[in-house]
Amino acid sequence: MSEHDHGPNQDFMYGYFKEEDQKLYYRYDSERVIIEPWGENSLRVRATRMPEMPTEDWALIKPENTHAKVEIEKYQASITNGKIKAVINKIGKITFYNQKGEILLEEYVRNRKDMYADTCSSIEVEARYLLPILGGDYKLSMRFVSNPKEKIYGMGQYQQPFLDLKGTDLELAHRNSQASVPFALSSLGYGFLWNNPAIGRVSFGKNITTWEAYSTKKLDYWITAGDSPAEIEEAYANATGKVPMMPEFAMGFWQCKLRYQTQEELLEVAREYKRRNLPISVIVIDFFHWPLQGEWKFDPVYWPDPDAMIAELKEMGIELMVSIWPTVDYRSENFDEMVNKGLLIHTERGFRISMDFMGNTIHYDATNPEAREYVWQKAKKNYYDKGIRIFWLDEAEHEYAVYDFDNYRYHLGPNLQVGNIYPVMYAKTFFDGMKKEGQENIINLLRCAWAGSQKYGALVWSGDIHSSFASLRNQFAAGLNMGIAGIPWWTTDI
């Protein structure tokens, strides 16, 4: 312990502080907390009761040349990085301030330990609550004091009409037409990323804001301060990644319908556009152009000569996009090999089926690098090598027949802990493969996203929404909040 550390028995009975490599460490009993600079005007906070701090960075990209000032006093310590300052006291309560000394966000603590605070109370509520799960890790609750006048935007895509999310209760999970991207932009001048891909929920209550993860090993969030929404968004983009340049062809008209069933039907539509001198940049082959799910190739019965089809489209200046699904049918030619190599997700109980649409299927495990490479090599051989340069990565949530989130397990861990990262890894599967082939300005259409998806060229659309004016109204809030949450490429069905 350094001369700046104050042990738990020195004048005060609770935790102690340490500075190392511009990071502020706090420890009390089995809890370890690290507050560190992470980009300009930004801090990352992690806490755990595990023996060591888990190392995953999830959505965050390691910053370069970040500097912070750490000060340790007898009853509290602080870390300042540009326009943001965090103060943690001896009982572990954290409060964030801007450069004017105004409170941006503070933890909600109500207990008898905090004898120096106005909130000293017999209620006994901890801000950071890691509740052990019998036989597992922890259920996490993170509580902050809520400013009732605050407005909150972002958080991704939810099918509801509210742009200001204050007062809402949101599921931190993906479903068809719901994309949880847990970055919140506050009218108080801060941005907050819940850097945890676990299934959970957030309640932006009038009195308390509560974030929950149903199963996790650590608390992990990132917070930034700025003088404008643009400054906050820029910091967030730097922390999680920026979109590539959109290719020129992607800014033209895309022709799609449900669905072209044959090669000749699609070609005749493309030819008619040219006969009428109508602008067209992309035409789309939708789902079930393959023999079975998990066979990432053209069905030769209906698409007998894809090479000639693609060549004709390119002569017309039209790019072809094909639909990809992550589901693998038990009857498919790749199923046995993928099972043998451990490339499919698991079910914790019951028969190994995660979706039963048009066959008994299980999804490929996009969190497994070997599975990503396997699927890409199939797509490369059957699509990319033929000249296809854009993919429709459908079912990206990924969709389940039954949304029992606790019943699925991936290479990276149980779905309850890591499930929300699936669409990021799905996008990464194709982005990395296309990048390796030398392609620049990559764009692919996906039905879902999580924090960081944007850096993998993900153009997100709002899923299989209902055809009604009420649903159309919801898409305005969904699209705007998706953009605020760092997913700038977004569209919706018409």
Which residue numbers in the chain have pLDDT < 70? Answer: 1-13, 112-121
Q: Are 449 and 181 in contact (CB under 8 A)?
A: yes
Check if 106 is active-site: no
Three-state SS for 425? helix
How many residues are present in the chain? 494
- Measure the CA dihedral 357/464/384/247, to 10°: -170
Q: Looking at 137, 295, 397, 399, which residue is catalytic?
A: 397
Q: Looking at 220, 394, 395, 399, which residue is catalytic?
A: 394
For 132-141, write each residue's pLDDT tens digit.
Answer: 998 889 999 9
Give the pLDDT score at 121: 63
Check if 464 is active-site: yes
Contacts of 404 (CB under 8 A, 6+ apart): none
Cα separation of 81 and 235, whole Å?
Answer: 13
Domains in the chain and their CATH numbers?
16-240 (2.60.40.1760), 248-442 (3.20.20.80)
Instruction: Please name the residue that has the structure tokens 């954290």.
Output: 94
For 327-346, write each residue's pLDDT tens digit.
Answer: 999 999 999 999 999 999 99
Check if 52 is active-site: no
Q: What percent of the chain has pLDDT over 90?
A: 92
Give the pLDDT score at 42: 98
Three-state SS for 42? strand
Cα separation of 473 and 138, whole Å?
Answer: 38
